[in-house]
Amino acid sequence: MAQKTTELYRGKAKTVYHTTDADKLILHFRNDTSAFDGERIEQLARKGMVNNKFNFFIMQKLEQAGIPTQAEVLLSDDEVLVKKLAMIPVECVVRNFAAGSLVKRLGVEEGQALTPPTFELFLKNDALHDPMINDSHVVSFGWATAEQLAEMKQLTLRVNDVLSRLFDDAGLMLVDFKLEFGLFHGKVVLGDEFSPDGCRLWDKASRKKLDKDRFRQGLGGVVEAYEEVAQRLGVPLD
Ligand code: C5P
């Protein structure tokens, strides 16, 4: 098994390490929770563990559905071995219901169903507050080729199909989510993470928010909500 060596990159919620295998990295999920492009950061006990196990569970479900992911081996409570991807600096966002920046941008009502779901692209750049971009920006600036972008979009919509059903079966609405992709030996592969830090999940009956909006909006019970989602999906936490 590949062993952890030096730090490659410290993100807002995860630290990435090189390993003895040039094709593998280790992601360490920390308890740090950030909002507003890192302006607000707090430590939330158990969050690293919950997100690591939640992410691995989701990535396994996606692999079973034929979606290539970087996840390889769950190593410990807060670490996972992954394929080393050359990350594409573009965030793919799908929305099934209006919320967050869409509501602000277009003045629509929160919770409005979006049929078909919307697909949006954002540039991963904290200093610029992740500006919205379009397909031609991605290709013209060389962040991805037209073929890679088409693959990212198709995979993102497939992820939405798989996960919307998975969460629906657990009594949850997958409101929206963000994905990041990278290249592994030239192939487009799902990277980063899928956890309640990067999606919106509402209880179907009460529409209670069970995701990072609890942190962004100061609603409290953040990790408790993540644990409730994990428990409803059957993610083994202990
Ligand atoms: O803020 P906005 O409404 O555009 O976010 C859409 C979805 O993407 C939300 O689920 C949010 O958690 C996620 N997101 C993210 N990281 C970002 C921006 C958005 O995980 N930098």
Q: What is the pLDDT of residues 118-140, one digit of tens each?
A: 999 999 999 999 999 999 999 99
What CATH number does the domain containing 187 carry? 3.30.470.20
pLDDT on residue 37: 87
Q: Residue 10 sits in which domain range?
A: 4-83
Q: 156: CA distance to ligand 1 center in Å?
A: 14
What is the C-alpha separation between 21 and 83, in angstroms, rounded? 10
The answer on 95 and 38 residing in a single domain is: no
Residue environment code for 120-132, b if the CB has 16+ CB neighbours within 10 A, otherwise e? bbbbeeeeeebee
**Contact call for residues 237 and 49 (beta carbons, < 8 A):** yes
Please give the DSSP secondary-structure letter assigned to residue 81.
E
Ligand 1 near 178 CB (within 6 A): yes
The answer on 115 and 30 residing in a single domain is: no
Q: 93: CA distance to ligand 1 center in Å?
A: 7
Using CA atoms, how far residue 177 sits from 10, 23, 97, 156, in Å, is 22, 27, 11, 10
pLDDT band, residue 188 (cuts 50/70/90): very high
The answer on 142 and 79 residing in a single domain is: no
Report the SS3 class of residue 226. Answer: helix
What CATH number does the domain containing 55 carry? 3.30.200.20
The answer on 24 and 78 residing in a single domain is: yes
Q: 45: CA distance to ligand 1 center in Å?
A: 22
| pLDDT value at 238 more than 90 | no
Atom of ligand 1 nearest to the CA of 198: 20
The answer on 147 and 64 residing in a single domain is: no
Share of the chain above pLDDT 70, in %: 100
Atom of ligand 1 nearest to the CA of 103: 3
Q: Which of 125, 133, 176, 222 to mutate to test the pocket of ligand 1 (most atoms within 8 A of CB)?
A: 176
* Mean pLDDT on 7-30: 98
Q: Model confidence over 66-103: pLDDT tens digits?
A: 999 999 999 999 999 999 999 999 999 999 999 999 99
What is the C-alpha separation between 48 and 38, in angstroms, rounded? 17
- Please say which residue of 51, 83, 115 terminates a domain: 83
Round the average pLDDT of the chain to a whole number and report it. 98
Q: 99: CA distance to ligand 1 center in Å?
A: 10
* Inside any domain, residue 170: yes
**Contact call for residues 131 and 125 (beta carbons, < 8 A):** yes
